[in-house]
Amino acid sequence: MAIISTKAIVLSAIKYSDSSLIVKCFTEKLGVKTYLIRGVLKNRKGVIKAAYFQPLTQLILEANHKQKSNLHSLKEVHVSHAYTSIHRDIVKQSIVLFLSEILSSSIQEEEENSVLYEYLETALIWLDTHDKIANFHLLFLLNFTKYLGFYPDLFDQETASSFNLFEGSFSNAFTDKNCIVHHNLFLFKTLLGINFDAIENVLFSKQDRQALLQIIIRYFELHLDGFRKPKSLTILETVFS
């Protein structure tokens, strides 16, 4: 058994028995790890609080990691960055719930990926500290593909008349149902190469936003084995409708 101290982002928390939680985290030092936290739902005076394990909360963990086990335990937990708006803004809560499902389904590696961790950490702090966030989840997901290995190939971006979601590249051929063209292509191109500070200048209608989200989710489905469409997708679409 090794005691590890690491930053971590909560991906999911599932109730186990009447009083415990099974929590999956993306840790800075060890990738995805799962923890059994016994009694946390009933012991309100304990040092580890159930409130720490809301979706995408940023923590510092001191954990006992067993070499031959998939389920580990926590000694200490502290919030590393306390959000000021996410947990009291219904739109931001809906975005966070949706993104936590995407991340939980997409990140499988049990090894250090500090570059991805920094991206998630920085993006979530940006969400917490800004107000014009209607397009945040779209840009977040598209930029997330850089760290998963299938960010769009930008060759011929300016002149191409279609983008093949399966191939991940632009072309002038319309080969199958996985090609996007016309207005959907324009929407997709609009997000490429911009940063979060630029999204408040991107004016999408609610129909544009929904169409683009469906395109991006299809892109994930084509490139990630076992990717599951988030259950919270309908909630997100309702919030932005």
96 C-beta neighbours (distance < 10 Å), count: 23
Asked if pLDDT for residue 138 goes beyond 80, the answer is yes
Mean pLDDT of the chain: 94
pLDDT band at 161 (very low <50, low <70, confident <90, very high): very high
pLDDT at 42: 87
Asked if pLDDT for residue 176 goes beyond 90, the answer is no
Write the DSSP symbol of residue 133: -
Model confidence pLDDT, tens digit, residues 100-137: 999 999 999 989 999 999 999 999 999 999 999 999 99
Percent of the chain whose pLDDT exceeds 90: 82
pLDDT at 120: 98
| 167: Cβ contacts below 8 Å, ≥ 6 apart | none
Q: Which of 7, 4, 102, 116 is nearest to 55 (CA)?
A: 102
Distances from the Cα of 126 to the Cα of 56, 173, 216, angstroms: 13, 38, 21
Asked if pLDDT for residue 152 goes beyond 90, the answer is yes
pLDDT at 45: 73
pLDDT at 213: 96
Q: Which of 138, 121, 139 is nearest to 28 (CA)?
A: 121
The residue ranking higher by pLDDT, 89 or 239, is 89
Asked if pLDDT for residue 173 goes beyond 90, the answer is no
pLDDT at 124: 98
pLDDT at 111: 92
Q: Where are the domains of the chain?
A: 2-81, 86-239
Distance CA 140, CA 13 (A): 22
- Domain 2-81 matching CATH 1.10.645.10: the answer reads no
Q: Do domains 2-81 and 86-239 have the same CATH topology?
A: no
Q: With contact defined as beta carbons under 8 Å apart, do 135 and 209 qualify? A: yes
Q: What is the pTM of this model?
A: 0.94
User: To which residue do tokens 């190939």 refer?
Assistant: 153
CA trace torsion 177, 179, 184, 186 (10° rounding): -170
Q: Which of 176, 174, 168, 173 is nearest to 222 (CA)?
A: 168
- Domain 86-239 matching CATH 2.130.10.10: the answer reads no
Model confidence pLDDT, tens digit, residues 18-64: 999 999 999 999 999 999 999 999 877 778 999 999 999 999 999 99
pLDDT at 239: 84
Asked if pLDDT for residue 238 goes beyond 90, the answer is no
